[in-house]
Amino acid sequence: MSKRPIDIEDLFHLTQYSDPQIDHKGETYVFTGRAINENQSYTEHLYVQDVHHGELRQWTFGNVKDRFPRFSPDDQTIVFLSNRSGIDQLWSISTNGGAPKQLTYLEHGAGKPHWSPGGRSLLFSAPVGTDRAFTEQVEKTKEEREKNVKKKEPFKIERLKYKSDAMGFHGQKHQQLILFDIETKTSEQLTTNEVDHNVGGWSPNGKKIAYTANLKGDNHIGQDIFIQSIGTVEETRQITASDGTYHDISWSPDGAKIACFGHTYTYDGATQNEIWTIDVSNGEKKLLTPDVDFEIGDAMISDFQSGQHNPGPVWENGQSIIFTASRFGRTGVFRASINGEIHPIFEENRHVYAFSFHKETDVLIAGISSPTDPGNFYAIPLDNGKITQRTYANDAYLSDIQLQEPHTVRFSANDGWEIEGWLLYPSNYNPEKKYPLILEVHGGPHAMYGYSFFHELQVLAGVGYAVLYTNPRGSHGYGQHFVDAVRGDYGGSDYTDLMAALDQTLERFSFIDDARLGVTGGSYGGFMTNWIISHTNRFKAAVTQRSIANWLSFYGVSDIGYYFTKWEIGEHLLDDPAKLWDHSPLKYARDVETPILILHGEQDLRCPIEQAEQWFTVLKYYGKEAVFVRFPDANHELSRNGPPRLRAARLAEIVHWFRDWI
């Protein structure tokens, strides 16, 4: 029986596995499975499976979101985050069975749990208001929450950074560190600074915790590491020098050092992550990756495996660290020794989006995706590297669906730089026919397309388009010089990289109809879509998503505008407004001749919807063919983690627009 191409509605039938956690015996692992229910909303449940054999078992059920499961030190209990009460709180479930039990009852909810080594306490961060004592901020009933949502009060703003796309308007709440006592079922607030605090974890002896925070004010962009003792009067110590950003903390087995990801902003936001070790006693830093010229961590762009929990650097023992890194369109698992030697553990044309490591058995459980696999877990013993697939999340559903394997293609830029990309053939490919092509441009721009499942790209190939996606300069995966090359040059060599890739694709693949070309992208890719059609008329149609059109206004309305504009364009608003205007597609709107569909979320605070409003208004005023679709209840994450029905509606708008115009 012939297979059918994937379609938009298939999104509602795919399951996403994430966040594996191996128990302390190394026998079992727990993870989260996310799906879309019949009401077109997300559910997340906990599953368990033996590391080396046996079927997986579902542990939690219902129309809920259960995530971040963590085994207690004795493996008798799993604590997890759940919205079962209507807001995220910590819950527990026995590994021997039984119903989940609620642990915390905080007014604004709780965050991801971290067990103390002895199993007596849980450490987590939680939003805490400054208007009254922490002990008074108890969970409200559903009716009380709904009443508060309906009640509109004036919102007073006094700080520079008062909103974020992920959290909305900050108000008078900050992420504080909370200690929960398992025996007494009581919570204690550990931090009080009016800034956000991020948990870094417990020292091996359970006497200290590490966390990150920015105490320098909103004009300072960075995170420092702090050490705080538990149960003593010793003062909190800052062990980094406010010279960069440090995150994803991991204590060494002996508790003497901390490993972390981070950098010192040498190239502002385009600086590649490094791995550092820091002496807890004196703050002495050591760079473990001075000769590594690729991104540490997961830089992969995907609309399916997006926003996964990265464990950061994980100590294999006192002499080496395991971590993920991204290069050449691949995200793999690597080992760094404390003397600076770097070796890949697993690096194939795939995307390692999550992993858990068990020290005693030397086994990894890794979440791995490929262009034709949304993602599954694999066991990887480090002694032989032999990989064994453990889950088959979507195999049954996808058995009658044709997914397209990408063709890796490399192009020569105008200045001789090599640009990597991928071409999906249309699902109904016939060498005797000609096919239209869609050029996709990723966001960031400091991110990376590659060997991961991407539903949108597969849908476009499924309806009959060739799909070209590339990593122009500015992308991660090709070295520091490459990722830095776009800064101050938006719309310059990045634009010519894309056009060179398109030209050479048309030269090499005769089945593509050069008279039927489309272009689309989101965020920076939306900016580039706007820029492309205001600088060339070769495309028959365009779709711009959550885009930037005017850097002058972006500076003041985006949650990151006041520093990102300087980082990427090169100037602050009042220092050189002419430069910001020169890099704004809006300046060239009168030159647009390509019909364009503008898609934007109403709640987007990263690229606020006023960017789309300006772009649409000016285009329509000058008589251009433009349609504007606004998505309610959607922020910058619409295409990846937005409401499922809106994700599907967005894809339908894209498909219909290209069908109408190409």
Residue 233, pLDDT above cutoff 70: no
Report pLDDT digits (tens) over 180-215. 999 999 999 999 999 999 999 999 999 999 999 999
Two structure tokens written together for 41? 């909303």
Average pLDDT over residues 454-480: 98
Q: Are 562 and 571 within 8 A, CB to CB?
A: no
Residue 32 has pLDDT above 80, yes or no: yes
CA atoms within 13 A on the CB side of 473: 26
Is residue 176 packed enough to be buried (19+ CB in 10 Å), middle (13-18) or exposed (0-12)? buried
Residue showing tokens 């993602």: 375
Name the 3-class secondary structure at 410: strand
Q: What is the pLDDT of residue 149?
A: 65
Residue 272 carries which DSSP code? P
222: left (phi over 0), alpha (psi -120 to 50) or beta: left
How far apart, in whole angstroms, are the C-alpha atoms of residue 437 and residue 520?
11
Tell me the sheet residues that pair with 123.
114, 179
Is residue 245 within 8 Å of residue 267, measured between CB atoms?
no
Task: State the pLDDT at residue 308.
Answer: 75
What pLDDT, on the 0 to 100 scale, is given for residue 141? 83
Cβ atoms of 225 and 246 within 8 Å: the answer is: yes
The CA angle 226-227-232, to the nearest 5 degrees, is 140
Dihedral of CA 156/160/165/167: which sign? negative
Peptide bond into 445 cis (omega under 30): yes
Q: 178 falls in which pLDDT band (50, 70, 90)?
A: very high
Residues 135-171 pLDDT 10s: 888 988 877 777 776 677 888 898 899 999 998 998 8
Write down the pLDDT at residue 562.
Answer: 97
Point out the residues that are catalytic.
523, 636
Written as six digits, the tokens of 46 are 């906990």
What pLDDT does 442 receive? 98
What is the DSSP secondary-structure string of 597-659? EEEEETT-TTTTTHHHHHHHHHHHHTT--EEEEEETT--TTHHHHS-HHHHHHHHHHHHHHHH
Query: Who contacts 39 (Cβ-Cβ below 8 Å, separation ≥6)?
Result: 63
Contact 528, 583 (CB under 8 A): no
Distance CA 71, CA 31 (A): 11
Amino acid (1-letter code) at residue 300:
M
Percent of the chain past pLDDT 90, that is, above it, reads 90
Residue 95 pLDDT > 70, yes or no?
yes
Give the integer Cα–Cα distance in Å for 497 and 412: 8
464 token code pair: 């009959």
The predicted-structure confidence for 362-395, as pLDDT tens digits, reads as follows 999 999 999 999 999 999 999 887 899 999 999 9
CA atoms within 13 A on the CB side of 406: 27
Strand partners, 630: 600
Compute the Cα dihedral for 629, 633, 636, 642 and give only its sign: negative
The residue type of 302 is S
- Fill in the DSSP letter of residue 52: S
Report which of 115, 106, 116 is spatially closest to residue 83, judged by C-alpha positions. 106
Region 540-546: mean pLDDT is 98
Written as six digits, the tokens of 203 are: 């020292």
Closest residue by Cα to residue 30 from 390, 383, 386: 390
**Residue 97 banded pLDDT, cuts 50, 70, 90:** confident
pLDDT digits (tens, 9 = 90+) for 237-292: 999 999 999 999 999 999 999 999 999 999 999 999 999 999 999 999 999 999 99
Q: Cα–Cα distance between 452 and 375 in angstroms, integer?
A: 9
Identify the three-state secondary structure at position 620.
helix
Nearest partner of 471 among 491, 492, 501, judged by Cα:
501
CA distances for 493 relative to 214, 496, 498, 528, angstroms: 35, 5, 9, 12
Predicted pLDDT of residue 4: 96
| Full 3-state SS string of 152-194 | CCCCCCCCCCCEECCCEECCCEEEEEEEEECCCCEEEECCCCC
Q: What is the pLDDT of residues 570-626, one digit of tens each?
A: 999 999 999 999 999 999 999 999 999 999 999 999 999 999 999 999 999 999 999
* C-alpha radius of gyration, the chain, whole number: 25
| Residue 239 neighbours by CB distance under 10 Å | 19
Question: How many alpha carbons lie under 13 Å from residue 436 in its C-beta half-sphere?
Answer: 21
User: Residue 519's pLDDT band (boundaries 50, 70, 90)?
Assistant: very high
Q: Dihedral of the CA atoms 518, 523, 528, 530 (nearest 10)?
A: 70
Q: Which residue, among 231, 209, 238, 22, has the nearest Cα to 117 in the 3D structure?
A: 209
Residue with the bigger pLDDT between 238 and 1: it is: 238
Residue 623 is encoded by which pair of tokens?
A: 């008589």
Q: Once rounded to an integer, what is the mean pLDDT over residues 425-454?
A: 97
Closest to 568 measured CA to CA, from 414, 418, 444: 444
Helix (H) or strand (E) holding 645: helix 644-661
Cβ-count burial of 199 within 10 angstroms (0-12 exposed, 13-18 middle, 19+ buried)?
A: buried
Q: How far apart are CA 527 and CA 620, in angstroms?
A: 18
Q: Which CATH class is domain 402-661?
A: alpha beta
User: Which amino acid, residue 640?
Assistant: R
Q: What is the mean pLDDT of residues 349-359?
A: 97
Q: CA torsion, points 482, 486, 491, 496, in degrees to nearest 10? A: -10
Give the residue extent of every domain in the chain: 402-661
Q: How many CB atoms lie within 10 A of CB 267?
A: 17
